[in-house]
A = this chain, B = another copy of it.
Amino acid sequence: MKAAIMGYGTIGSGVYEVLDKNCKSVEKKAGEPIEVKYILDLRKFPGSPVEKLVIHDVEQIVNDPEIGIVVETMGGIKPAYEFVKRCLLAGKHVVTSNKALVAAHGTELIRIAAEKNISFLFEASVGGGIPIIRPLVESLGGEEILEISGILNGTTNYILTKMSEEGWSFEEALKRAQELGYAECNPEADIEGYDTCRKIAILTAVATGKEVNYEEIPTQGITKITSMDSSYAAHMGAAIKLFGTSVNKDGKIYLEVAPVLVDAKDPLYAVTDVFNGILVVGNMLGASMFYGSGAGKLPTASAVVGDMISAVRFGDEPEKIGWSSEKLEVHPAAELSRKYFARFEGSERAKKEAVAAAFGDVKFVTLEGTDEFAVLTGEMTGEEFDAAAAKVGGLRQKIAARL
């Protein structure tokens, strides 16, 4: 089997490395060797061992009947979408790590692959090296999935971990993340939650079998989280994590990307630093968690190679991993009843009665030496919370809580 890699950046070069280092086990599991014939990139990589494989025109891949499988690790929509579509239409399996592409054009690409009886696989687009998409489809096949909640972005998890464990400010933690290469110069996609949004959209689409428009998912990042929030969380024996959340309640799917306060007993609490963790709750299975390196060259490349092996092995009987063109109705998770952690300016003593009148029974939390106080509310919708908070006045922060 001859392969082409489109995009020889971090992930693409990792794929080449994994195929090279693990060639024996890849051949054994795929049933035949997988050899990289082309590497498509704008650059030339002079002096590199792959120099002779480098091409600059996608036509060479599309028109070469020897190429049976194409890896897309360019990222972004343009020109990845056009290139992938052309490869699929030419009857070549495609494996991608590109969550932006899968979230935006997955429905069409999955449909083309099905029509052509080939594989379009994207395990690496969510959770890096953590096997999650295939287990959702295959191993949990007998389950009604009730919830998928994931720490799906390593950069934001690193920032929140450092704010909590080291007391760093958001800005300090972000700067350190950039120095370490975890965060990009323009960190918007990570810290505003856009990356997590695309990933939870993909997971929800796979679990429900329906198309999810990620633009409809209420998405909030971590830029408003302060070290004061982290101090309260630590004081309460909890931690703040950025969650992508998808809840199936009575057949309706509620979605959100937002910071969440999680208890130390929650399996996701221990997911720190750049690691990812994905909690899946099934109606029969109960809670199950998948944990590992959510990003990074080799873990992500390993997931790509796992998909390549499946594509080659299953040949013209491809795995059915994907979703239909039926659109999922997206409900905001704020419509669900849940607890909230909230900070108010002023003193607990002065506002105690107002809080009780607005929220009923709450748990108060006060950190010494501050001009404010916090509460942990009972279960309520986002709208109910907002109405109650307006009555109290001086709201500084609200975060959904799993305590």
Q: What is A's interface to B at a CB cutoff of 8 Å?
A: 14, 17-19, 21-22, 25-26, 28-30, 123, 129-131, 134-135, 137-144, 209, 267, 269-270, 282-293, 296, 298-299, 301-306, 308-310, 313, 317, 320
Knowing A131-B140, A303-B139 are in contact, say whether A292-B283 is a contact too (CB < 8 A).
Answer: no
Determine the chain B residues whose CB is within 8 A of the CB of A267 once the complex forms.
270, 291
A135 touches B142 (CB 8 A): no
9 A-B residue pairings within 8 Å (CB atoms): A21-B144, A22-B143, A25-B144, A30-B141, A141-B309, A143-B302, A269-B270, A285-B292, A290-B291
The 10 closest A-B CB pairs, nearest first, are A142-B305, A131-B139, A288-B292, A289-B291, A284-B302, A141-B309, A284-B298, A131-B135, A129-B285, A270-B270
A130 touches B288 (CB 8 A): yes
Among A18, A26, A137: residue with most chain B CB under 10 A: A18
Determine the chain B residues whose CB is within 8 A of the CB of A14 once the complex forms.
284
**Closest partner residue, chain B, to A293 (CB atom):** B286
Q: How far is it, in angstroms, between the C-alpha of A339 and the C-alpha of B304 when the chains are bound? A: 36
B299 touches A292 (CB 8 A): no
B284 touches A288 (CB 8 A): no
Q: How far is it, in angstroms, between the C-alpha of A131 and the C-alpha of B393 when the chains are bound? A: 48
Determine the chain B residues whose CB is within 8 A of the CB of A283 once the complex forms.
21-22
Determine the chain B residues whose CB is within 8 A of the CB of A144 once the complex forms.
21-22, 25
- Which listed residue (B17, B25, B28) contacts A143, Cβ 8 A? B25
B25 touches A306 (CB 8 A): no
Q: How far is it, in angstroms, between the C-alpha of A310 and the C-alpha of B320 when the chains are bound? A: 11
Q: Knowing that A22-B284, A141-B306, A141-B310 are A-B contacts, what are 10 other residue pairs whose CB atoms are under 8 Å apart, sorted by A's residue number?
A: A25-B143, A123-B139, A131-B139, A131-B288, A142-B304, A267-B291, A285-B293, A286-B298, A288-B291, A289-B291
**Closest partner residue, chain B, to A14 (CB atom):** B284
B291 touches A291 (CB 8 A): yes
B129 touches A286 (CB 8 A): yes
Q: How far is it, in angstroms, between the C-alpha of A317 and the C-alpha of B139 when the chains are bound? A: 17
